[in-house]
Chains A and B, each alone.
Chain A
Amino acid sequence: MSTKNIAGKTIEVNEEGYLLNMADWTKEIALELAKEINLPPLTDKHWQVIDYLRKNQAEGVALSLRKVGNSGIVDVKELYALFPGGPLKKSALVAGIPKPASCV
């Protein structure tokens, strides 16, 4: 665990940079994180995915690519285009939720 100064706030993150408390998240933080991992500029679709992830996380729903692909917001192919190189890991990072552990 460590802390990080981002978008004018000091927040707690884990070794991989995922926010420890999803309540610390703000849109400004998301923008900074997206820049750090070299995402293309965030579009409406990005924000819709981020909202979806945060809402489901808050409800305790386990997230997977399939789940997001069935959300009606994007299909899996589009998700890859929005968050290239590991869409679930990257979208979760930007959304300020833990890295999805869909696998055991």
Chain B
Amino acid sequence: MKKLVILGAGSAGTMMANHLAKTLPKSDWAITIIDQYENHYYQPGFLFIPFGTYKEKDVVKPKRKFIPKSVEFILAQVSKIMPEKNMLELKGGQTINYDILVLATGTKIDPSELPGAQEGWHKDIFDFYTLEGAVALHQRLQSWKGGKLVVHIQEMPIKCPVAPLEFSFLMDSWLRKKGLRDQTELIYVTPLSGAFTKPTCSVALTHLLTEKDIKLVPDFGTERVDSTAKKLHSFDEIEVPYDLLVTIPTNKGDEVIGRSGLGDDLNFIPTNKHTLQSNAFPNIFALGDATNVPASKAGSVAHFQAEILTENILHFIKGQPLKPDFDGHANCFIESGNGKALLIDFNYTTEPGFGTFPFPALGPMQLLKETRLNHWGKLMFKWIYWYMLLKARPIPFITAKMSLMGKKTAKEAKK
């Protein structure tokens, strides 16, 4: 009996467990999945917690519910990977062998990378990338009376790179509803040169920031934060004062990746961006937020990758060449406040553009435009996530490789 081990039962690992349980012959292969936590968190829901739209109970479910019966689930932290021996070590010393290893260890924020933040952490400085952070911020907002509210990104890449923008738009909406918008200066501080990474998108989103009177501070290389004077400092000596700082600190891969010599300087795993095979060891594969591939770190990306990686693992087992099929496809809703959202669809080579999705001309969803239907799409995503994505059920009409039908570039759209 051969053994395939999946490390990490988050979005990507759970999808892989479901795909592989269906495709690997049970007579030859045993599948094990390992995670340190009992519960699965719906991270896209963290965005809505500060505003009271979702509560903790809306975003947490036991992991076991989503893991197929035929897959062994081990609840433990992995402390080391020894790829030369095809072996993992669990905290406590127990070892596990594998023939194939799938790394789906995700990424998490590391506030210790932001010098000075410790002193003000969860007092005037909050994150919403963790459940604790989002809940603490919700509490802090209850006593908000106005002042400078700064949304800050320390360093790219971060998972769900649109989340800080969405947060700012929702914050604007929330403040208006509470009658606090006039008393609040909203400031968006980013290391990028505009609101977003992709140029067409950046123009549309920068426009939304202006429309909502959110001040953009671009090209900000953060050196440190002074929690006493309540100021962000850049390397080139620009200061941004705040009363409330909502930060997305540096995102890093799990320590186990660095400790095992499998990561880059941020503990992301060097991975072939088309086949999802590790660059270092042929029997190790990686997907989701844990890799260094230049695609967005998003649940939708993990979903597209999981389909392609499943096929590639089958090819690998049969000794066939891997298919270079992953094209960087990402598909994200962007909440823009007031019950509206935008939708973007892009890959390694094609910028997000205008048009309709998923059907050419019919839509019903509009790309890169603010609509109410897109907002419903975003809320529906929670249901799709729990009941379809994690179980690796196919989503009708949405393919792993991006379709160009129904899409227009910014230039074409102007015609």
Contact = CB atoms under 8 A, between A and B. Distances in A.
A102 B235 contact: no
Closest 4 interchain pairs by CB?
A: A103-B156, A80-B235, A103-B197, A80-B236
B192 A103 contact: yes
A70 B221 CA distance: 16
23 contacts: A62-B294, A65-B155, A65-B221, A66-B265, A66-B266, A70-B265, A76-B221, A76-B235, A77-B223, A80-B221, A80-B235, A80-B236, A85-B236, A86-B219, A89-B193, A102-B156, A102-B157, A103-B157, A103-B161, A104-B161, A104-B197, A104-B296, A104-B328
Nearest to A103: B156
A17 to B, nearest CB: 15
Contacts of A70: 265
Interface residues of B, dominant DSSP: loop
Given A70-B265, A76-B235, A80-B235, A104 B221 contact: no
Interface of B: 155-157, 161, 192-193, 197-198, 219, 221, 223, 235-236, 265-266, 292, 294-296, 328, 330
A67 B157 contact: no
A87 interface: yes
Most buried by B among A65, A66, A77, A103: A103
Interface residues of A, number: 19
Nearest to B156: A103
Contacts of A66: 155, 265-266
A104 B223 contact: no
A40 interface: no
Given A102-B157, A104-B295, A104-B296, A87 B197 contact: no
Contacts of B155: 65-66
Contacts of B192: 103
A80 B236 CA distance: 6
